[in-house]
Amino acid sequence: MTVTPPITWIDNPRASTIEHSQAVADLFPPHIARQTREFHSRIPGYQISPLKSLPRLAAMLGLGGIWVKDESFRLSLSSFKVLGGSYAIYSFVKEALGAESLDIFSDEGMKLVREQLGEMTFAAATDGNHGRGVAWSATRLGFKSVIYVHENTSLPRIRAIESNGARVVVIKGTYDDAVRQVNEDAQRNGWQVISDTSWPGYEDVPRWVMQGYTTMFSEAQEQLAAQGIIKPTHVLVQAGVGSLAAATLGFYSQLFGAGRPKSVVVEPDKAACLYLSAEIGDGEPHSFGGDLDTIMAGLACGDPNPQAWKVLWDTADVFVKCPDYVAAKGMRVYGVPLAGDPFVVSGESGAATLGALTFIMQRPECAPLRESLGLDSRSEVLLINSEGNTDPDEFRKVVWMGRHPVPDAYQQTVEI
């Protein structure tokens, strides 16, 4: 029986030749991170999510530091996604009212919005976390929401969306089918779609979603500065349609230009649309076929976001695809830390990058990748725990019962 290797990678040497990316300039102008941060800070209950250090694990892997932006604490929603959904709804409302600024969460602001816009329904397709964030944001403003999910979405994820005030519609097919269906139904019903992926004629909202994510990194930069670190040397970021990855690399490219951190984009091997696009290498986004059957539900996307792809084509140094057991290992490493390292609750999509990092640093066949990236004892690596325990049943199967174990051929023990 053939066992899928933990890490399959492809270099993007083009990124090192790009000092100024027009795609980055268009999507992430210099003021945007400050603007999104100011908006999010007005949300009732807003707090900066923790940046956790894993020094013992870093030492074991031969790294200078591992820093984890832990989004499992974000607004009690256990995911970063609400940052994008809330900012996109705010930007849509502000534009609809013709307002330059608006305190959308104040009593006066809410009253103005309701008086001017009347009854509105916001809609989205999701694998769970994005829809939950859109539903939460719409409910806080007194609007209705309808969220489309595909047939393999777990019941806990559906219930979490419904608990935030949305009506959930389950459709046959994949996440990409849900994206297409919600757009068709929204046009018939007069709903406003809040999507994290773009298509011709629909680009403003996905841009706002990606811009909303930059709040994470303006926070992280403050937190790193408090530790005497100017910037991470490396960033590993997980990807579905690529919007989070584009926001991550776009933020650092805008801030540091050619001096940005080295970057690795991590995808499931069963939904590797960005890896495939890099492999084809014509500069265009390409769809990944199949049923997208991976435990990394938040990354189970076959169609790249064209806007995000432009940023990644200019800025991502390496694209990696990995099997489910890599994410499962990451969940267990987070959940059973070395003595002295903090405990991190991470779901399947959230743990993909930590799992990938452990294999990159420990497997002999990954030595060329380590060398090309310059991953060594001086490296300060930033990871994003993009979700907490958002699917308790699946979480227990992986962490308690050992589902998706590392195959014997790729198990490795390192002395501390």
Report the catalytic residues: 81, 127
Given a contact cutoff of 8 angstroms between Cβ atoms, the answer to whether 82 and 387 are in contact is no
CB-side exposure of 58: number of CA atoms within 13 Å?
22
Residue matched to tokens 């509105």: 120
Given a contact cutoff of 8 angstroms between Cβ atoms, the answer to whether 279 and 288 are in contact is no
Secondary structure of residue 66 in the 3-state scheme: strand
- Burial class from Cβ neighbours inside 10 Å (0-12, 13-18, 19+) for residue 339 reads exposed
**Cβ neighbours of 31 (radius 10 Å):** 8
CA dist 389 and 73 (Å) reads 11
Given a contact cutoff of 8 angstroms between Cβ atoms, the answer to whether 247 and 214 are in contact is yes
Residue type, 227: Q
- Burial class from Cβ neighbours inside 10 Å (0-12, 13-18, 19+) for residue 98 reads exposed
Q: How would you list the strands of the sheet with 192-193, edge to edge?
A: 167-171, 144-150, 121-126, 192-193
CA dist 227 and 66 (Å) reads 13
CA dist 108 and 111 (Å) reads 5
In what helix (H) or strand (E) does residue 303 lie, and over which residues does it extend?
none
The single-letter DSSP state of residue 15 is: G
Given a contact cutoff of 8 angstroms between Cβ atoms, the answer to whether 147 and 161 are in contact is yes
Kindly report the CA angle at 108 between 102 and 112, in degrees rounded to 5?
A: 70
Mode of pairing for the β-strands spanning 65-70 and 51-53: antiparallel
User: What contacts 403, CB < 8 A, 6 or more positions away?
Assistant: 328, 397
- Residue 389 sits at φ, ψ, to 5 deg, of -85, 80
